[in-house]
Amino acid sequence: MAEHTSSSITIEAAPADVMGVIADFARYPEWTGEV
């Protein structure tokens, strides 16, 4: 049987602001060392 995990967070920002961050692939190294 496969393992399953999940998590969630609350981001207090407008959806457009969040999308602006997650769609900015060039800046990923600033906030994640895994990409």
> Residue 26: its pLDDT value, please?
92
> Residue 4: its pLDDT value, please?
92
> Residue 9: its pLDDT value, please?
93
> Residue 22: its pLDDT value, please?
87
> Residue 35: its pLDDT value, please?
55
In angstroms, the Cα distances linking 3 to 6, 8, 34 are: 10, 17, 22
d(C-alpha 3, C-alpha 20), whole Å = 32
pTM: 0.54
b (16+ CB within 10 A) / e for 1-31: eeeeeeeeeeeeeeeeeeeeeeeeeeeeeee
pLDDT tens for 1-35 read 789 999 999 999 999 999 998 899 999 888 777 65
